[in-house]
Amino acid sequence: MMGLLSFSLAVSGLSGIAAAMPKHQRDLFGRTTEPGRARASRVAGWLLLAGSLIAALSFWPVSVGLAGWTGLVGAASFVVALCLTYRPRALLPGAAVALAASLCGWAVQGWIS
């Protein structure tokens, strides 16, 4: 469960970081956004990636958690890259769904344990 939580947080975080880049902004929004919005998107993306790392380290021991998190981030970057290549307009709604799923998973995990 925590692996899925970590993966969905990584997808959301990498989507936020991608949304802060001018080239991807044109793909996602049809124009570049204001610098303040891009900065907020970048900060939110990095915070979500940090949350992904925390989720991985809370489930696995540190050595396994770092290795597992690296693999999860690699898989998440592959998903984000595929979305940016073939369906860029679907990336942000997909990232929102992934974030909502990760928050629901975190809440369920808290209730179970």
Average pLDDT over the chain reads 87
Across 84-104, average pLDDT: 86
Q: What is the pTM of this model?
A: 0.87
> Which has the closest alpha carbon to 7: 75, 54, 64?
75
* DSSP code of residue 20: T
pLDDT in tens, 9-56: 999 999 999 989 988 878 888 788 788 888 999 999 999 999 999 989
CA 15 to chain centre: 6
Q: What pLDDT is attached to residue 112?
A: 58
Residue 113 has pLDDT above 60, yes or no: no
**Domain-by-domain residue ranges, the chain?**
2-112
